[in-house]
Structures are given as structure tokens and as C-alpha cells.
Amino acid sequence: MSDSFFPQDIIIKKRDGGALSRAEIEFFARGVSDGRFADYQATALLMAIFWRGMTAQETAWLTDAMMRSGDVIDLRDVLGPKVDKHSTGGVGDKVSLILAPLAAACGLKVPMMSGRGLGHTGGTLDKLEAIPGFKVQLTVPEFRAILVQVGAAMIGQTPQVVPADRKLYALRDVTGTVECIPLICASIMSKKLAEGIDSLVLDVKFGRGAFMKRKEDALALARAMVDVGKAAGKPVRAQLTAMNQPLGRAAGHTTEVIESIECLRGRGPSDLMAVTYALTGQMLLLGGAARDLPEAQRKMEAAIASGDALEKFRQMCTAQGGDVRVVDDYGRLPTARKFLTVRAPAAATGFVREVDALKCGHAIMALGGGRAAVTDRVDHAVGISDLVKIGEPVTPGKVLCKLHVNDDERGARAEALIREAVVIAPQAPEPEPLLQELLS
């Protein structure tokens, strides 16, 4: 591989609208990892890519180069189909906590490397860390051992996996180059392909509470990620889901862990279970654990009804150091100092027309349950529960949600945001389909 390139020549080529060669892209990814590409040069190229874009071939090469900038986990000796799921993030999206043990109970191996929340979107790792003792920073041998023993392991990105992405993500975050489909695609897919998976299911969200606000942008990202998977020889399916209202009735960390366990007990909200079943079902098809969707649905419902899925959650929790007693005693989870019940005004009559997911996410941040920067600490105890859903009838004094509060001033700010988020109208709105296009 040639190292006879100069960073400025690659920057100029992309700045002027040229397509980069595979060797140039590999030089860039390697240079970001070892420091030969200075931060200001990497930033300049990121901005050029932001404005000029990348072809499908360039995106596939960038993904591969980023994946190979560090260790690629080899799970070929782990018996069974290895299938993962990734969500582009939203408010109240705790699907991974339900899906991983459910898929494992249905016969798959689920090697899941997850991230932390940033801004109004919650992170899987933060939710797991609400469980006392739960370790998400595991070595690759520990990750592999839990995968063999339990069938599912949920960890954070190790320092050795995709170091180029860690550096580029930090630069994108502070230079206004986050919202670029080729860069988003390469960031997500490089980490997923480095896990050692056989196939992947993607939940690509759009709407107020999603990273992609417009459906057409979510479709473009979904197509790009499916194409990258194809180029890497990995089957990928992408399910588009709407994220204009929070998923389920809880948002936060402890509140979402509780709702996830309730789902595994068969008592979950219908919208949350619909997305969980849709994504897990596609995983079972890709992994050969079901011949068609009806068989997949029967297997998933049986795993919930028998308690097998909940047992997998217990096993995963124990294997990763978590206090498994939380499954039967939610009081062992971080608990807020007080509840603040938000009720409909005295004159309110009609139906819920909107539950703005973005404003609900901002309410979580106001309570202290989100982070503005990656280094910020989150309060696992605060959050939202019993949240109303679009289309529900409203009468005076109806409970719109319960806020889990540790600070009265923060609670007041969160209540104001919830009152802005929930819009009541005389007539029930036409429901928006939650599950939309499926790309494969």
C-alpha cells in the first residue's frame, strides 16, 4: 500500500469534487489513527466530504479502511449464527435491552457493541449501567466467553476496535460535519462489521426525535448502509421506523430498564413490542432460526411466554457483573428523590394529537438524564414514566406522565417541556405507521 500521498493533495482532490481512490482513503484512515493526518487536515477533508459527498464505492472503501484501522473481532469459532441489530437512536428506544436476550432465547448469538447517549437521544450503555455493577467495558476474550455462555453480550467499543472512528467522530462532533450520510454510514458500519457478525438488522429512525428528521434522508442512509453491507459480503436489512413520539411509555435510564424487563415479562407497550418483534424477526430470518415471519413470530412469543427471554436477560446481567436482583426488585435500581405527576389542564378535553419526542428528550436532559458532551455524567435515576400516547383520550386532570425528579428546579423545567410536547386537540389524529419501509 502506497504512503506516497500528501494529505493536502487528497483534501484538494475531494474539495474539487473528485472521487478518491481506495489507496487514498486507506492512507487517510491509517493517518488519522497514527497521527500522520493532523487534526486540522482531517477536519478539512471531513468538510470537503460533507460538501462534495462520496460515491457508494468510496463509502464502502472508507468503511472497510476504518474497520481495519484496529482489531477486527474473529468469532468464527463461536458456534451459531451471529446477528446484531443497530438503531440510529431516538427517545425511549430501549429495544436492544429486550431484543438481545429475546434473539438469544430463539437460538441466535448476539454480539452487540453499543454506544452512549448524546444530546436528546439515549444510549444503550447508559441504560445498562443503571443496573448496579453491570460492566459494559469488557475485553474481547470476556466478550467472547459471555457470547458462548449466554448467547448475548452487550458491551462498549474497545480501544482497539475502529480507532479511526473514535478520532473522526470526535472531530465531526465539534466541526459541524456530523450530518453527512457517507460519514454516518462509515461510522456505524465500520463498528458493526468489526464485531465479527454474520449479518445485521438496522433500525433507521426518522422524525422529530430522530437524528434524521426527514424520511428521505433516513431512506438514503438505510440504502447506503445496506450497500456497504453487500460490499462487505454481509447480509443487511434496514427497517425504517417513525420517531415523532417516544417509543414506549418510559424515557430515561432506570425507567427504561424497568420497561424493558416488563416487556420480557409479556407486559410491554404495544408500540415498543411491535418494533422489537419486527427487528428480532428479521434477525431470526437472517440467522436461519426461522423460515418465515409467522414462524419467527411464534418463536418470539413463545420465548416471552415461557420466560426463556427473561432468563437470558438474567444470565447476561449476571455474566456482566450486574445485580440480577433488580429483575424482581426494581427498588434496587437508582431511584429518584420524588415523583412529579404532570396532569392535563382543568379545561382539557379531547385527544392527544402530538407527543413531541424531541421536547421529551430535552425534558430528560433538563432533569439531568442526558449529556451535552460525551464526557458529561448522567443521572440514572431521573426520567419519564407513564407517558401518554398519540390518539389517547384526554379529560381534565388526566395523567400525562410522571417525572422522576432529583432537583425541584430541574423538575419544573422538565414539566414545562412536557406541557409543550403534549398537544391536545378536539379530534383524534390519523395514526402514523410506526413500521415503514424494509430495505434488504
Q: Tell me the C-alpha distance between 63 and 183, whole Å.
A: 9
In a domain, 403, yes or no: yes
Same domain, residue pair 235 and 301: yes
Q: Tell me the C-alpha distance between 188 and 228, whole Å.
A: 11
Same domain, residue pair 172 and 250: yes
Q: Which positions are annotated as active-site residues?
A: 86, 165, 172, 187, 191
Same domain, residue pair 342 and 377: yes
Up-side HSE of residue 324: CA atoms within 13 Å toward CB?
12
CB atoms inside a 10 Å sphere around CB 321: 14
Q: What is the DSSP string of 404-416?
A: EES-HHHHHHHHH
Same domain, residue pair 193 and 89: yes
Amino acid symbol at 164: A
CATH code of the domain covering residue 48: 1.20.970.10
Amino acid symbol at 398: K
CATH code of the domain covering residue 203: 3.40.1030.10
What the block records as the C-alpha cell of 341 is 405527576
Judged by DSSP in three states, 247 sits in coil
Same domain, residue pair 258 and 124: yes
Same domain, residue pair 367 and 262: no
Work out how many domains the chain is built from and give that number: 3
In a domain, 125, yes or no: yes
pLDDT at 121: 64
pLDDT at 1: 41
Same domain, residue pair 232 and 351: no
Same domain, residue pair 364 and 321: no
Q: Are 87 and 203 contacting, i.e. CB atoms less than 8 angstroms apart? A: yes
Same domain, residue pair 137 and 264: yes
Give the chain's largest Cα–Cα span: 73
Residue 378 belongs to domain spanning: 335-425
CATH code of the domain covering residue 396: 3.90.1170.30
In a domain, 208, yes or no: yes
Amino acid symbol at 381: A
Alpha-carbon dihedral angle through residues 25, 30, 33, 36, given to the nearest 10 degrees:
-100
For helices 254-264 and 308-319, give the axis angle rounded to 10 degrees: 140
Positive or negative: CA dihedral 405, 408, 414, 415:
positive
Phi/psi at 109 (5° precision): -100, 130
**Alpha-carbon distance values, 210 to 90, 119, 247, 403 (Å):** 5, 11, 11, 22
In a domain, 59, yes or no: no
Strand stretches in 326-398, DSSP E: 338-343, 350-355, 383-385, 393-394
Alpha-carbon dihedral angle through residues 253, 91, 300, 325, given to the nearest 10 degrees:
0
Same domain, residue pair 31 and 123: no
In a domain, 434, yes or no: no
Same domain, residue pair 357 and 302: no
Q: Tell me the C-alpha distance between 410 and 367, whole Å.
A: 5
Q: What is the DSSP string of 288-335?
A: TS-SSHHHHHHHHHHHHHHTHHHHHHHHHHHHTT--GGGGT-GGGS--
This prediction's pTM? 0.93
In a domain, 439, yes or no: no
Q: Are 205 and 212 contacting, i.e. CB atoms less than 8 angstroms apart? A: yes
Q: Tell me the C-alpha distance between 80 and 356, whole Å.
A: 41
Same domain, residue pair 315 and 349: no
Residue where a domain stops, chosen among 304, 327, 350: 327
In a domain, 409, yes or no: yes
Residue where a domain stops, chosen among 299, 327, 355: 327
Looking at residue 211, the DSSP 8-state letter turns out to be S
In a domain, 215, yes or no: yes
pLDDT tens per residue across all 440 residues of the chain: 446 789 999 999 999 999 999 999 999 999 998 888 999 999 999 999 999 999 999 999 999 999 999 889 999 999 999 999 999 988 999 999 999 999 999 999 999 988 776 556 668 889 999 999 999 999 999 999 999 999 999 998 888 888 998 889 888 878 888 889 999 999 999 999 999 999 999 999 999 988 889 999 999 999 999 999 999 999 999 999 999 999 999 999 999 999 999 999 999 999 999 999 999 999 999 999 999 999 999 999 999 999 999 999 999 999 999 999 999 999 999 999 999 999 999 989 999 999 999 999 999 999 999 877 666 788 999 999 999 999 999 999 999 999 999 999 999 999 999 999 999 999 999 989 999 999 98
Residue 423's DSSP bridge partners are 354
What the block records as the C-alpha cell of 94 is 430501549
Judged by DSSP in three states, 194 sits in coil
What the block records as the C-alpha cell of 178 is 456530523
